[in-house]
Structure 1
Amino acid sequence: MPQRFALMIDPVDASDTRGDYSGTFTEVDVASPVLSVGEFSTQRGDGVFESIGVIDGHANEVEAHLQRLAHSARLCDLPAPNLAQWRQAVSAAAGLIPEGEAVVKLILSRGVEHGPAPTAWVTASPAADFSAVRRDGVRVVTLDRGYDLGAGERAPWLLLGAKTLSYAVNMAALREARRRGADDAVFVTRDGYVLEAPTASLILRRGDEFVTPAPSGGILHGTTQLSVYEHLESCGFRTGYATVTASDLANADAAWLVSSIRLAVAVTAVDGEPLPSDPAFTADLNAYLLSPR
C-alpha cells in the first residue's frame, strides 16, 4: 500500500511573525485516531481545503493555493490562516514523498463545538496514475447546477466561490456522469451558462484564443488554469475570461479540464457529440504542468 503521511497543525494567528513555524506541526500516524468525534469537518463538511500537486518533492503553485485557501476561509468566516505557517507545512509534507507525483492536501476546519478551534492539518500521498486520461481525454455531460449565473453574488451565503469540504454534490455529479456513459461532468447554470467541472476548471480554444468562464457566479479561480494561461501567453496565444454558453462549449475548436493533480485532459465529447482534440498540444500542456512552478 502506498505510504501516506499527515501533519497536524497548531494554527497561529495570521499576525504572528515569528518566522520559524516548524514546531507548530507534528507528524501523526495516519492509521491512528486523531480527530474528535465532534469535529465539524466530518459532521458538517464545515471547513475549506486545497489540493496541491507535487512533482519529485516540489509543490507546484503553492502561493496561488494559499491565497485561495485564505479566500475560502474569509467566505466561511474562518480564522485567517497564517500563510507563512501553512507554506512551511506544505514544504515539510511535500518533502516526505521526494520522488514521483504526489498530492498534498490542506484542510482548515471550524474545529469542534466548545473546543479548540480551528482544526488544521495537511496530508501527503502518492498521486494516482493519470497518464492514460491525460493521453486519451474524457467524455463529458453537461449537468444543471440548479441556479442562475447571478446566484453567487445575490446569495453569498451559498459559498459558491469557496472550496469547502462539502463536496457531496460534486461527487454526485461525477456518479451521474458515469451513469450517462461519460467520464466527467461540466456544470451549467439554469440560464445556460457554463461554470466548471466538479473537480476541474474548463478552458476552451477558439482559433488562437483561449477562454475560461469568468471566476464569478460561484466559479473557483483555478490555480492550474492560471498556470496554463501563463504558458499559453509565453507561446504567443491570447487568453481571456468570458461568459461561456453551453453552445460555445459544444462548438469550441478544443476544450480541456485542468486541475492540480490530474493536470490537463482533453474533452473529446460533449453530451455524446464528438469534440475535436489535439493530442500533441495536450501533451505539451502536460509537459509544462509536470515541470516545477
Structure 2
Amino acid sequence: MPTTALALLNRPSAQAPEHKPGGFAFKLVDPAGQYLSVLDLGVTRGDGIFETISVGDGAPQALEPHLRRFARSAAALGMPEPDLDAWRTAILAVISELDPAPEAWVKTVMTRGIEGDSRPSGWAYASVSGDFTAARTEGIRVVTLDRGYRHDVERTSPWLLTGAKTLSYAVNRSVLREAARRNADDVIFVSSDGYVLEGPTSTVLYRRGDRLLTPGTGLGILEGTTQGSLFELAARRGMRTGFELLTPAELETADAIWLVSSVRHAAPIRELDGTPRPVDAELTTAMNDHLANRVS
C-alpha cells in the first residue's frame, strides 16, 4: 500500500455542474500524475480554500469541525458551498488507501476552477506524517512578527479574508523564512496595534496557573480546531479555559506557551524572541496523547 493517495472530486459543490456528467463522486488517481489546468484560478490567483486534517491510526481527527470551517471559508470567498458529503467520502477513501501508520494527514483543496467556468476544482490528498517528536518534546524557538493589520481588521475590513483558510499563503511561507534567518523555528503574529494573534499555521495557547487560554475571538484569526480539542482536555483536568486579548509583554508572563496545529499537534515554546521559556512537560505530554487518540 502507498504512503500517499489522491482523490479528484467530480462535483466539489452541489451548487455547480459535474466535471463528468453522470460520473462517480470522486476518482482515485496516481498522486504523481498531472491533473490541474494552468488556467485554474487556484494556480494563477491563489483563489481557493483548504483544510489539513490529522489522521490517527487510520481515523480522521476533528473531521466535522474541519469540514464546517471549510464551508465557512468558501462562504467568505463567495465560492459555491462545498458538498460536505462528497468531501467526507473522498477523505475517508484516500485514508483507506494509505499504508497503516500511527499518524497521517489529509489536505482538502477547492479552487474557483478555470476562469470563465462555473465548476470549482477539488481534491483530497493524503500522506503519512513526518516525525514531530522533537518539536513536541524538546520544544520550538519562536519569534514575534508584525502582521501589518490592526487586531480589529475582521470587523473593519472583512474583505481582507483574515479569518478564512485560503490558498494565498505567500506571506505565511515568507515569515517562516524570516524566522529561520533569526535562528527560530516558527512565528507568532502580532497586530500592528500590539496584540497577539496566531502562528502562520497554528494557534497560540498558553497557561496561567489552572487556566488554559488563547487569544480572543474576532481578531481575524482562524478558529482553531486543535485548540477546541485541547480546551475539552483542559476541562476534563479541572482547568478553566477562555479567550483573552493580550499583548506580547503579557504573553511573556504566562507559565507556559504552545503553538498547536492539526498535524504537528502541541509544540511547547522553549524560546520566545531569544529568551528561554519554561516548558510544561507533563501538560504537553497529556495534550499530545489526547490529540493522538481523539476520534472526533
Q: Which moved more, 1:162-171 or 1:211-220?
A: 211-220
1:107 aligned residue: 109
1:88 aligned residue: 89
Cα shift at 1:256: 0.6
Residue 152 (structure 2) aligned to one of 150, 162, 186 = 150
Cα shift at 1:292: 3.2
Taking the aligned partners of 2:54 and 2:97, their CA distance within structure 1 comes to 14
Residue 190 (structure 1) aligned to one of 184, 189, 192 = 192
Cα shift at 1:66: 0.3
SS in 2 for 1:73: helix
Structure 2 counterpart of 1:281, one-letter code: L
CA contact (8 A) 1:103 1:127 kept: yes
Structure 1: segments with no counterpart, 5+ residues: 16-20
TM-score (norm 1): 0.95
CA contact (8 A) 1:52 1:261 kept: yes
Taking the aligned partners of 1:275 and 1:292, their CA distance within structure 2 comes to 28
Taking the aligned partners of 2:224 and 2:177, their CA distance within structure 1 comes to 23
SS in 1 for 2:67: helix
Taking the aligned partners of 1:122 and 1:152, their CA distance within structure 2 comes to 29
Cα shift at 1:122: 0.4
Question: Once the two structures are superposed, what CA deviation does each residue of 1:74-101 show, in whole Å capped at 9, x if it has no partner?
Answer: 0000101111111111111221223221
1:18 aligned residue: none
SS in 2 for 1:35: coil
Taking the aligned partners of 1:281 and 1:52, their CA distance within structure 2 comes to 23
TM-score (norm 2): 0.94
1:55 aligned residue: 56
CA contact (8 A) 2:10 2:23 kept: no
1:204 aligned residue: 206
1:172 to 2:201 alignment: no
Structure 2 counterpart of 1:292, one-letter code: R
Structure 2 counterpart of 1:194, one-letter code: V
Structure 2: segments with no counterpart, 5+ residues: 17-21
2:9 aligned residue: 9
Taking the aligned partners of 1:104 and 1:71, their CA distance within structure 2 comes to 19
1:137 aligned residue: 139
SS in 2 for 1:133: helix
Quick one: percent identity of the two aligned structures? Answer: 45
Question: Once the two structures are superposed, what CA deviation does each residue of 1:175-234 show, in whole Å capped at 9, x if it has no partner?
Answer: 101111111110000111000001100101011011101232211001000000011101
Structure 2 counterpart of 1:239, one-letter code: T
1:291 aligned residue: 293
